[in-house]
Structure 1
Amino acid sequence: MISQAMTWAMSLVLMLFLPRFLGAEGMGQLHLSMSIWAIVGMFVTFGTDTLLTKEISRAPEKTTELVGAAVILRSVFYVVGFALTAVAIQFAGYTQETIYVIYIIGLAELLNQVGSVARASLIGLERMEYVAITSIAFRAFVTVISIAILLMGYGVLVAAAVNIGGTLVTAVLHFYYLKKLQPVSFLSDWSTIRTVFKASSPYLMVYAFSVIYKQLDAVIISLLVNETQVGWYGVADQLFGTFMFVPTVFITAVFPALSRMFADKSDSLLQLMRKSFHLLLLLSVPIGLGVTAIASPLVVLLFGADFAPSGPVLAIMGFVLVLTYQNILLGQFLISTDRQNAWTVVMAVATVATIPLDMVLVPWCQARFGNGAIGGSLAYTVTESIMVVAGLWLLPAGALDKTNIWLSIRVLLAGLVMLAVVWTIRDLPIVIPIAAGGVVYIGLIVLLRVVPEEDWAVLRAAGQKILSRFRKHQSEPASL
């Protein structure tokens, strides 16, 4: 959790620098390139991350042969993926500079693919401290070097190339730590490679739709409009992504606390779901609706007037945020109860639906508002809504009850009143609407008695757990 907080903070710092120096077009080129290679990289990985972690955790002595086979397999897939990408982008109508950025990020992806083989192996060996150190090192390298080259006046091509250095550092560190634990070889026999290929393929589908779903909007916007509007969409999406730290911490910290509190009850799993749904809604509503209210002044403050068109995109994503928090919970619950196949189907439907939605909404918003990126966020709203409805329908009977409905109504009421108050004063210095929104929301939550005493106890326990982890981290000497 400490490493997550540190990498999140460094990512936020870099996010504040890049848009102001690169502008909307430069950010669009970077965001598009990252999206393309996230999709290609998912196929290159071919589910081997999950296979390596699973098999090595069961039989550490297989590490050497599995690592060699995975590196060879990924190298072959990468060559194929790079060739297909190189052909495809020639027909996409991108500028030459955009094509160069895509190639540069593609080279970084090769190093990332090799390094993540060792990363998956370290996770399987349960040496998460090495994974955390490497993650921090990568983010620190990219953040510091990127800011330095931006201040020196370099542009998007050099900024993209920093990722090559970062992934090289990551790959070297991952294999350095892995070699301390197990012998490392990049050689393998055909039989092992074939076994890894067959065994990893089922895991591909589990993550394929998730990755494609998250990255498809940027690619479609680039094809239907231009890289500048991808930049408008991209910075809003990055801000949106920073708030995903909240449900991650929630799932990590609160789930164990809830499990202990209800371990002695026969329906503890269903009670855990009900409590988690309520608490996560309690957190997501003020964040999401608050973002909606201050979206336009926030993006101008952070990134400058060049990104003013990102305001409406982020405002819509504020509503999406509330839905996404619940989808994270619903997906986690369904996977934990062995219904991951059903959730994969939901992801598949959402992914397929994204394409026609974008094809209709992006051109319409471009014609109506001069901002096709708004169409991407509207499509996101529709697909996340579909996933929430499907996820709730897939829950077992009794997972949610009338109490959740009544509590949700009060939380949403408090959030809407907060939204109305903040909206009326959104043009004041941004600290004022944020503070006013916090006071209004918390006051209404207390007045409406939204949070039962037992939930306050859970929140206090979670807060104490997080605080104790920070204190423990501060008391331990840093070492590599």
Structure 2
Amino acid sequence: MLKQISKNSFWLFLSRVLTQLFQLIFIGIIARALGVQTFGSYVLFALILFIGNIFTTYGTDALLIREISREGKISASFSASAWLQILLSFLWLVTLFLCSVILKFDSQTRISLLILNLSLIPLSFQSVFNSLLRAFERMDVYSALNVFTILIQTLLAFLFIRGSEDLLLLCVLFFSNQTFIAMISYFVCKRVVSEFKSIEKPIFSEIINILRTGWRLAIYFPLSAFHQRLNLFVLSFLSGQELTGLFSAPARLMDGMKLAHFSVSNGIMPSMAKPSTQEIKSTLQTSLLFLLAWSIIVGIVIFFFADLLINLIYGFAYSESIPTLQIIGFVLIPYTFSVYFSLQLIMAGKENRVLRITFLSLLLAVILYVYLIFNFGLIGAAWGTLINEIIFASFLLIGNRAIK
């Protein structure tokens, strides 16, 4: 079991590093080719697509992984999840079209926006196929598909994007690539998953059942993302863009340090959903201890080398960010428990509890951040981030113990 989780985590770690690398190259290519103004439009469109993907996924990826891992077979929820995501994608597209009309977008801008967001339909198929691969612990195949997707996307941008007039072409290429990858994902799943079956015709009762069971996760995931970024919103509102920039520099650096947490947490999801055995318990505890040890080491290293990291990566203009980095470098320690226990609650079917905990923590975080930032500025934001994560982890620990 531990060997399997180690393999899962390795493939996820490797794919994350490679996708981030190719994403950086892709951004560099289109930023240079499109120019500042058109690139800004693409970034806005991509952000809208990102939000749309969160909305249309509706938490079904976690639901499918939990259900398939627990039962060891594909249920009717597989097809229902795909159809629900497609229906929500059409709803999102109609809403975008109406908004573009109300805001009086020119025809090319409207078409570019809609074509890019049309990618939500192939992404719906990719979502369920990826959930299938993750549930059956084929992280090697899942990771390879992710890297292949961004590799093709980067290659297309390099070959065809030449100037600011190519925004529409870029959106068409993105949609075409996602459609191609969805088709590849289908044939790959058919080959590597012995239990695989094609998406069947929609059954209304199954779709309604997914709507009923998934709404908490549909709220939780964007709420959790907002909870992690609340410090930046409050800092920007109370202290302006300069302090926000000074805080964002170390915050982005710490996001990179969460790579191990991403890899291990996604690697252990299927095991958490399975019926508990002594072997599974021992393996999960080992995974938790590994993440905790990693977090402590990272925190200590960052504390002593914060000045070197800030000056080397961002330059001497960001020297005021050094004390901030020294403080938030230790956030990974409570973050380890937050990730582990929230995932454990979700895989146990207790998403209602983790949602309530997140709401409560969010309300307390607003009060905490407003007080500390208003009185202590940048350092207040750093201490608020650390204290908030400790509070959140403590609530999740209490909530997790209540199910045992």
What range describes the TM-score normalised by the shorter chain of this pair? 0.5 to 0.7
Aligned pairs for 1:208-223 within 5 A? 208-213=222-227
- How far off its partner does 1:184 sit? 1.0
- The partner residue of 1:171 within 182, 186, 201 is 182
Q: 1:30 to 1:250 in 2, by over 3 A?
A: same
Higher relative contact order (CA 8 A, sep 6+): 2
Q: Distance in 1 between the 2:171 and 2:318 partners?
A: 22
Aligned residue number for residue 51 of structure 1: 63
- How far off its partner does 1:72 sit? 2.0
Equivalent pair of 1:292/1:319 in contact (CA under 8 Å): no
User: How big is each residue's C-alpha offset from its partner over 1:201-237, in whole Å with a ceiling of 9 and x where there is no partner?
Assistant: 343344242244457889999999xxxx999999987
- The partner residue of 2:139 within 113, 122, 128 is 128
* Farther-moved stretch of structure 1 (71-80 vs 337-346): 337-346
Give the residue type in structure 2 aligned to 1:52. Answer: L
The residue matched to 1:184 in structure 2 has which SS? Answer: coil
Q: Distance in 2 between the 1:92 and 1:384 partners?
A: 41
Q: Distance in 2 between the 1:391 and 1:139 partners?
A: 34
Aligned residue number for residue 110 of structure 1: 121
Q: Distance in 2 between the 1:32 and 1:135 partners?
A: 23
- The partner residue of 2:390 within 388, 391, 409 is 388
Query: Radius of gyration: which is bigger?
Result: 1
Q: 1:336 to 1:197 in 2, by over 3 A?
A: closer
Identity %: 15
Q: Distance in 1 between the 2:165 and 2:254 partners?
A: 25
Unaligned runs of 5+ in 2: 1-9, 272-277
* Farther-moved stretch of structure 1 (141-150 vs 347-356): 347-356
- How far off its partner does 1:2 sit? 3.1
Q: What is the TM-score normalised by the length of structure 1?
A: 0.57
Equivalent pair of 1:138/1:167 in contact (CA under 8 Å): yes
**Number of matched pairs:** 368
Aligned residue number for residue 41 of structure 1: 53
Aligned residue number for residue 213 of structure 2: 199
1:281 lines up with 2:281 in the alignment? no
The residue matched to 2:119 in structure 1 has which SS? Answer: helix
* Farther-moved stretch of structure 1 (36-45 vs 267-276): 267-276
Aligned residue number for residue 336 of structure 2: 328
- How far off its partner does 1:159 sit? 5.1
Q: 1:218 to 1:116 in 2, by over 3 A?
A: farther
User: How big is each residue's C-alpha offset from its partner over 1:188-210, in whole Å with a ceiling of 9 and x where there is no partner?
Assistant: 22222223322333433442422
- The partner residue of 1:243 within 257, 267, 280 is 257
Equivalent pair of 1:24/1:232 in contact (CA under 8 Å): no
Q: 1:94 to 1:287 in 2, by over 3 A?
A: farther
User: How big is each residue's C-alpha offset from its partner over 1:30-59, in whole Å with a ceiling of 9 and x where there is no partner?
Assistant: 554444433332231222222223333455
Q: Distance in 1 between the 2:297 and 2:142 partners?
A: 32
- How far off its partner does 1:116 sit? 0.7
Equivalent pair of 1:115/1:171 in contact (CA under 8 Å): yes
User: How big is each residue's C-alpha offset from its partner over 1:141-169, in whole Å with a ceiling of 9 and x where there is no partner?
Assistant: 2233334456x456783555553244223
Q: Distance in 2 between the 1:41 and 1:166 partners?
A: 16
Q: Distance in 1 between the 2:44 and 2:237 partners?
A: 10
Unaligned runs of 5+ in 1: 257-262, 301-307, 365-373, 400-480
- How far off its partner does 1:89 sit? 6.8
